[in-house]
Structure 1
């Protein structure tokens, strides 16, 4: 069984940390903050694309084996890997192979030239065939909002497919030579450079909607070829879809992001009712396991394409602490979006959910964009959070430490979860793990004190491993939790009875 990082962290490179004063986050900026990430307890980082690209986000690549000069050099990237590995942190890079920039040399040679050897690398179609096949428009998906995905190149009789924008041309993986090119790209980063794996952008769209059944099959083949290059390489898919669509991708990929669960968690936090979340999660996991017993469920609160959880919860720090406690005690492999640990805010459009990390130290803060949401008067910078033991940052750090140390909470694969007390909609309660290592987790979803009697075999859970804040007591088998509070209990040795605990420090 592979040893996976217990908690990972997504870095939007441009916004994270600036090392040279040009206002743009870069690779050396990440290197400079590796101690911060290690101190937080992070064991893996996913960095958004760093290859040359004309856009600020770099999701339209022009050179798969280069580094955009804004971010640094290949030597900087090699140094980043060395420093990360020395800190016990694995590095997963974004691999964007669904499309290229229209400025990529392949596309520039293919456009307007039907005889080009690069023409089959992309999907071209005449207006007549588009109409005959009924493909002029596509149904919108959460991740692709272009209704008419066919785009004209001046002087070309055919249009090219680009479901994200006319600046991004979809690749055609029915072309064997393209597959060889992409395999060479994977070999370069895994073998020559040494990355630990890839986050696979737009994994559900590699083949177009009318051939979508080919997508999981493609990734199974790709994973086999990657394993031949680097057997322990990690592959995590962005399959922004419902559970049944995601499940087949686990046949090839180690992990997939759980968008459905993130939306369920948001709904719970807003409604303050658990709405049978745990039975739903168990059913979802059974669907995943039907395709791959060793699947890794990549859970999250938000990412670079979604409204930040801070804004979803209107900056309510108590609820943000609750959100962190739910995420970091659930099964799977949690991914934090940079800045969630200090409560950063952000709403669409996309640049506003990718604002500069608030370090509280101007020399390293990026300035490429003026913040609209995550301003110092609305979000506590890290430097201030470090001076306040009750800050959101310390809640994240304590929960990550718990996850890294606990067998029951931290297991990434084959992890157990059982519902407890389903009749209480205002409480989210569950047992993680089994045997002596098992933990009882209780979340108060409301702004009111809640009381829970620990009866039968549950009474043996009497040792406090974590509690968010001090509005808490455990006495004579009765648990009382203050507003939006969370507690993790482990078992009393030998089941000799339950000690009485009036108050437990939040960050012990």
Structure 2
């Protein structure tokens, strides 16, 4: 869906795994009122949009198996609580994106409860059903695992039924069948309800490449044409960002109908680079992806991230190394795109799979009896013994939190960093693959960004056409402030330079 360039696009987004963020009623489970209570914190951090993981009634802890699209899970609150959250967020200039799951439902959804009764049921065609012989004839009884699904045998038994149902992600998540026009109309009603009656600002779209099963996967993009048309007719300014967990070439066509997609190739490339302490020609790869995206939508928005709720946390990826945790943030927040922060990244939270342990409680303070803390799971990775809680980091100018806060403020104040459409990015060659450098040109003020990815001090030799960039506006190397006075950069440090003439005071972490 091509978006009007004049429409506002929130620039700094924050993913909240609702169950783990903030508890308001003492039951140990994060909830909507808990989020409301922390909106001032999020606004102060510089957040401009929230992506909430699913809030609908669901039998699972993560709630990606929806049982009712029109309500809020009682664990999280009520529809009135959601409306209060929306209003309070909007008062602070924060948009709300609802996680919408249209690839599948829960087996407890009334549609499936009806469909499983038999082939003659009116809701049968809302899902995929095939006999054993049909499955074998099509050669689709098993599949290769993918990054987004570890299920090998996606066909599941229904008691006393000669047909099996298809569930790509889990036996409790039957896939919806969009050959049904009746189903499409139900989805249209859901879109209209949340956009018009409730007033959300947009949707994060789960499993966007799996709308149709793998043997009909080319049809999935056609579904988003239908989806975009429904949005255009009821709220043209609504924002869509999709999970298309695939390589860039497969992702690009989705921009024809959607505003943004998450850049998984970039996420994994940054992780590899931080581990190896070497550039992977990431600027060249980004420019190639931008050119491809632009073919489908000249106003594409690249949704960038370090990790999300399905990936090992970036803090653990880099072994808890604070220098690398800060460097990861520095790269993410100085590259083009619309950055998404996973809750707790601003604290350097840790976690590796299985999934519950990459979704551990947010650390508000060192006090175990802090009523904001959630305790639905006992944290194995992010505890007060391993991570300084927010209450401590807020008062430490060298903390991960204040590093994020400073970078966000800088990104929002510098037009060259804030540019979303037509990404402004050029490689700067420093003849050292342990140095990552790029140019962000802008008519108001262009910037040079340099990252030392290694554990050693590195020499700086700017190319001749960039030697006029000597005014330091950001540095994590304490030896650099004001004017560029020497040509070395400390390990894992970032330096942002502007042209010498007429510059405001520098922003440094000292």
1:258–1:298: 8 Å Cα contact kept in structure 2? yes
CA deviation after TM superposition for structure 1 residue 459, in Å: 1.6
* Correspondence for 1:178 among 159, 175, 183: 183
Aligned counterpart, 2:508:
506
Alignment of 1:437 with 2:445, yes or no, is: yes
Alignment of 1:158 with 2:187, yes or no, is: no
* Correspondence for 1:388 among 392, 396, 404: 396
Q: 1:134 to 1:342 in 2, by over 3 A?
A: same
Task: Tell me the distance in 2 between the aligned counterparts of 1:238 and 1:181.
Answer: 22
Q: Secondary structure at the match of 2:487?
A: strand
Alignment of 1:250 with 2:255, yes or no, is: yes
CA deviation after TM superposition for structure 1 residue 488, in Å: 1.0
Task: Tell me the distance in 2 between the aligned counterparts of 1:99 and 1:436.
Answer: 47
Written as runs of structure 1 = structure 2, the 5 A alignment for 1:344-363 is: 344-360=349-365, 362-363=370-371
The Cα offsets for residues 447-484 of structure 1, whole Å up to 9 and x where unpaired, read as: 11112123422122122221124143687775321110
Task: Tell me the distance in 2 between the aligned counterparts of 1:61 and 1:436.
Answer: 47
Written as runs of structure 1 = structure 2, the 5 A alignment for 1:53-64 is: 53-64=58-69
CA deviation after TM superposition for structure 1 residue 113, in Å: 1.4
CA deviation after TM superposition for structure 1 residue 275, in Å: 2.3
Alignment of 1:200 with 2:208, yes or no, is: no
Written as runs of structure 1 = structure 2, the 5 A alignment for 1:96-495 is: 96-360=101-365, 362-472=370-480, 478-493=486-501
2:470–2:483: 8 Å Cα contact kept in structure 1? no
Q: Secondary structure at the match of 2:164?
A: strand
* Correspondence for 2:49 among 44, 50, 68: 44
Aligned residue pairs, count: 502
1:47–1:94: 8 Å Cα contact kept in structure 2? yes
Task: Tell me the distance in 2 between the aligned counterparts of 1:126 and 1:387.
Answer: 63
2:473–2:482: 8 Å Cα contact kept in structure 1? no
Q: Secondary structure at the match of 2:467?
A: helix
Task: Tell me the distance in 1 between the aligned counterparts of 2:407 and 2:207.
Answer: 31
1:415–1:433: 8 Å Cα contact kept in structure 2? no
Q: Secondary structure at the match of 2:401?
A: helix
Q: Which runs of 5 or more residues in structure 1 are unaligned?
A: none
Moved more, 355-364 or 432-441: 432-441
The Cα offsets for residues 102-123 of structure 1, whole Å up to 9 and x where unpaired, read as: 0111101110311110000000
Q: Which runs of 5 or more residues in structure 2 are unaligned?
A: none
Aligned counterpart, 1:68:
73
The Cα offsets for residues 293-348 of structure 1, whole Å up to 9 and x where unpaired, read as: 11100010000000000100111111100000000000100000000000100000
Coordinate RMSD, CA, aligned: 1.6
1:298–1:335: 8 Å Cα contact kept in structure 2? yes
1:454–1:479: 8 Å Cα contact kept in structure 2? no
Task: Tell me the distance in 1 between the aligned counterparts of 2:224 and 2:374.
Answer: 36
The Cα offsets for residues 235-257 of structure 1, whole Å up to 9 and x where unpaired, read as: 11000000000000000000000
Task: Tell me the distance in 1 between the aligned counterparts of 2:208 and 2:39.
Answer: 29
Aligned counterpart, 2:20:
15
Q: 1:269 to 1:476 in 2, by over 3 A?
A: closer
Task: Tell me the distance in 1 between the aligned counterparts of 2:130 and 2:262.
Answer: 33
1:470–1:505: 8 Å Cα contact kept in structure 2? no
2:415–2:442: 8 Å Cα contact kept in structure 1? no
Q: Secondary structure at the match of 1:443?
A: strand
1:408–1:415: 8 Å Cα contact kept in structure 2? no
Q: 1:476 to 1:79 in 2, by over 3 A?
A: closer
CA deviation after TM superposition for structure 1 residue 387, in Å: 1.8
